[in-house]
Every structure is written in C-alpha cells, then in structure tokens.
Chains A and B, each alone.
Chain A
Amino acid sequence: MRTDVMRLDVRLRRRGLVGYTVGMGAYAVLVVALYPTFKGDTGLDAITSGNSSLSALLGVSGPLTSPDGWMNANIYANFLPLVVLLMTIGYGASAVAGQDEDGVLGLTAALPLGRVSLAVQKILALVVIATPVAAVTMLAAVAGRRSDIDLATGPLVAATAAVIGLGIVFGLLALLVGALSSSRTTALGVTSAVAALSYVISALAPVVHWVHAVRWLSPFYWALGGEPLTRGIGAAATWTLVLCIGGLASACVWAVDRMDVR
C-alpha cells in the first residue's frame, strides 16, 4: 500500500499539527499542575452539586475536585474535543474540496494511483492528524500521577480513543461533504454546524427531556456521554463509533472516486 499522498498531506499540515500539539500539551500540563491547588477546594464542588444543568453544560461527572471530574471539566468534556475537531474538520474540508479549489488536487490525482487509493490515503492522513493532540494530552495526564491525578489507565485510554474517534467521524464528514460539493466552505460550514448541534444534544441530554430522546443521534453522546474518563467506553458506544467511521469512510471512498477533479 502506497502512502505518498498521505505523507504529503501530513507534511502540508505539519505546522498546524506541531503548534496545536505543543499548545494542547502545555495546557494539559498546566491543568494537571494546578490540580493539587484546587483538589481541596470544596467551594468548587458546591458550584455544581445539586445543579444538574450546570454540571451537564460543563460536562462534569461527579465532584469537580475529583481527579476525573477535574480533567473532564477542564479538558476531556470540551476543550480537547474542540481542538481535535478543529484539526480534523479543517483537514477534512481541505483534503479534497480545498485542494481542488486551490488547483493542487489535480497534481496528486494525476499520479499513478487509483481514486480508491487516493481516498484511503486521505483517510489515513486524517487518522494521523487526529491523534497527536489527544496522545500528548494523555501523556500529560499520565504524568499527572505525580500531582495526585490518579486516573485509571483503562478509562484514560478509552477517553483518548473516544476523542480521536470523534475527531475522525467529523473529519470524515467534512471530507465527504467536500467531495460531494467540491466546496471547502460548504464542507466547513455543514460539518461545523452538525458538530455544534451534536455537542449541544450530548450536553443537554441529561437535563432536557426531549433532547434526551434524540441523544443517540449525537456522536458526542456516544463518544463522551458515557463519561469515559470515569467508566471507560462501553461496547455499544464503541461499535456505534466504529460503524459510524466505517460507513463514513466508505462513503468518502465512493464520493472521491466519482468526483470531477479540476
């Protein structure tokens, strides 16, 4: 299997990839380092205890001052997924539609490789781009064991995989919309709107009855709604994300194969 196009696309986004990874790593280290200062602050817990709406919006599970509650509220429930999605949706919209608009997709599509290979290499590049930010955050959390962030390894790995999976889902959606529309703006707009809606559904599902009824529509719910940092990720959620990624990836291959390249 050739990887020339995958490596080229990762190279083209190297600067952003390094920047986001270093930035997120620094932020995660700061959050971990601040934990000992706040872990005894019962006033923090008072903010969310008995207020399920606020807890839902912050993505807090249990008390804010528990290790998993602290990491969840500051990183895993919102900030980390946001950064990963920024990267994957950005790449997904650029990988096909953006490069076509810029006129450079014709250069790679004119190489001696089939469209299926081109699409698969773009998807692999997306996986590569989705990984480092979540991985460096996980390393920071592991290092946090020195400052009382004693997260269990299983749930930490599960939460990291869930965030990466979530990023891949929305990156694939952006790639698909881009391949169908040949428009980077459409890909970014549609995917960002779907992602925002998905986040809101997942966040409000515990407190709003009718939103709760449609929570299964939200990839955020499947990835993060089950509090993976505390409980790991269940089989149903895992399979849903895997099938979602498989379905979207197949659709991407089909759309790239039939696409007219400039």
Chain B
Amino acid sequence: MAPGGRASSSATSVRTDDLTKRFGTRRGVEGVTIEVRDGEVFGFLGPNGAGKSTTIRLLMGLQRPSRGVARVLGLDPVADGAAVRRDVGYLPGELALFPRLTGRETLERLGGARDLRDTGWRDSLIERFGAEIDRPVRALSKGNRQKIGLVQAFMHRPRLLILDEPTSGLDPLLQEEFSRLIQEVSADGVTVFLSSHDLDEVQRLASTVAIIREGHVVAVDTVDGLRRTAPQVIELRFAHPPRTRFADLPGVSVTAQGERDVTLGVTGPVSAVLRAAVSDDVTGITARPVDLEELFLRYYDPLTEEKDHAH
C-alpha cells in the first residue's frame, strides 16, 4: 500500500508532552507523555475508564487539551486539524453510525468527504470482513457495525491509524483477520495507534506498549522490555512461622502471606530473600518469572501500587 499524505512527515507520528485534559471536576488524562515512531504498532492499554478514549480524542483534535502539547504527523491536531485528519484513519470507541443510512451510503458519504475515488481497496476490505452494507445500520448487530467502522478507518489508505478498541464486538475469526490486516499495513509503513483493554490483542500486535491507569501513563516499554523488568514470583514454605518481615527487604513485595508460607514479588537480586529464608529454616522454594497478565494486573490494580508504596 502506498499511503498518500499531505501533512509533513516526521520521525515520530505521534508525540505528546504533558498532555492533560480535565472536565471540570471529572478526571480526564493527566500529564500523558508518549512517542509513537513512524511505522510502529503502538498499543495503548488500560482498563475501561482509564483515559484511553480521551487521549485519542485529543490526538484527533476532537477535544482541546487543558494543558500540554500533542503533535500528530508533525502538526497540531487542533490548529491543523483538517490536514492531520486527512492522513489519519480513525475508529472511535463505542462506535455509533447514522442509524437510517445503510453501510454503503455511510461509506460513500464518508469517502466522498475524503475525495475517495478509487474504491477498489475499500471494496476489498468490505469483502474481507464480510461487512453487511445494504441494510440500514440500525438493523445491524454490534459486530456488523464495527466492520463498517473498520472499513471507513482503513479505506482511504491513511498514514496513521488511530483505533479505539478496534476488535470490540468482533468474533474470534474476524479478530484474527483484523490482526492480519494490521500486520499487512504495518509492513507497508503505516503507523498504528491501537487502544485496548485486552492484553492478548496488544501483545500479539504491538511492539511498544503504554499502560494507562486512572488518567496517568504508568509504564511505556516494549513488550520484551516489560517481560525483562518483570519481577520474579517466589513462593517459600517453612517448618514453622517465619520471623523475617520479608516486605522490609529491598525490592520485595508480599503478595500472599499464610502462617507457614509466603508469596513474594521480587525485583532485582534475590540473594537477600534466600539468606533470610535459610535463616528461617525454609523447607520449600518455587521461583518463576511473573507472567505478563500478572504484570498488567499489577499496573491496573490500585491496591497493588498502594501496597508497594506502603513498603
């Protein structure tokens, strides 16, 4: 695919610095600083209500930031909104379409507004997703509406795709088809910014991940990097209740505590834990790296962080 673009090119497709949006007393996002390099698939991961959609609307110029800067394809998405959006394909979260229009008329009107003349690629996407385009949108299931939403996001061959929960409502086969499509356009140099609350999806598609929780980006790393820095899980069993307060040891958090057993998350060297365990007559030990699921839950769960801070 040869993405046609008029907005200026840059090494980073998306860059934000201290991007903040407040809605009166309601929290939006706070101090979001991220960078998405050209051609990258960037996963934006967080639970519902974390601020993913707000960040995306700021990137699309649909909302104005309260503070901070956003640059999309090198331009300000509010001041240069028309130029930015010419080169961006956007799928809103909780997609709504015009209920009375058919899928075909929806695509034709949105395509017409983008001066889309070559409809061959659009038609191939319709076929690929099996999108039902001849019935009014109001008569379609959520999955069928999502297919039309995906087609309109991809149909003008944008340089940058901003997709908010793109596989929401799609069955597993179509999720697979969507993954293949992302891989294809990514191979053609298209940058993809993808939000999701589904770890598997992001892990499968994205090379870099940002995790957002309660409006704050709490981690940005490659998927491999997140694995490398993940803590080890160590389970210890004792002949009698241990005297050591493991939580006081450096880099250690206690995730479960029984009378004669304890489960720890250990970041960094484990020697201090092992020495303390030996002095307490340890009878059994199991160690394994934390899996990504646990890692993400750790970022998601506010209680985990409070526990970490408390120690």
Contact = CB atoms under 8 A, between A and B. Distances in A.
Contact of A103 (B23, B85, B96, B109): B96
B62 A111 contact: no
A112 B92 contact: no
B86 interface: yes
* Range for the number of chain A residues in contact with chain B: 20 to 34
B57 A12 contact: no
Interface string B79-108: 001110110101010111110110000000
B166 to A, nearest CB: 15
B82 A114 contact: yes
A39 interface: no
Contacts of A106: 57, 62, 92, 96
A11 B83 CA distance: 26
A110 B64 contact: no
B113 to A, nearest CB: 4
Contacts of A102: 96
Given A102-B96, A103-B94, A260 B62 contact: yes
Interface in B31-54: none
B85 A104 contact: no
A114 B63 contact: no
Contacts of A114: 81-82
Contact of B92 (A5, A107, A260): A107
A103 B64 contact: no
A158 to B, nearest CB: 36
B140 to A, nearest CB: 15
B81 A115 contact: yes
B113 A113 contact: yes
B170 interface: no
B113 A12 contact: no
Contacts of A262: 57, 62
Contacts of A15: 100
A99 to B, nearest CB: 9
Nearest to A105: B62
Contact of B113 (A5, A103, A258): A5
B57 A107 contact: no
B63 A261 contact: yes
A109 interface: yes
A103 B145 CA distance: 13
Interface residues of B, number: 27
Given A110-B62, A260-B63, A261-B62, A4 B96 contact: no
A8 interface: yes
Nearest to B109: A8
A246 to B, nearest CB: 25
A258 B64 contact: yes
Contacts of A8: 98, 109, 113
B172 interface: no
Nearest to B86: A112
Contact of B85 (A11, A111, A258): A111
A146 interface: no
Contacts of A209: none
B109 A260 contact: no
A112 B83 contact: yes
Contacts of B60: 109-110
B282 to A, nearest CB: 56
Interface in B116-158: 152
A111 B110 contact: yes
Contacts of B152: 107
The 9 tightest CB contacts between A and B, nearest first, are A103-B96, A4-B113, A112-B86, A261-B62, A260-B63, A110-B90, A112-B85, A111-B113, A114-B82
19 contacts: A4-B112, A8-B113, A12-B98, A103-B92, A103-B95, A104-B97, A107-B97, A110-B62, A110-B85, A111-B114, A112-B85, A112-B113, A113-B82, A113-B85, A114-B81, A114-B82, A117-B82, A258-B64, A260-B63
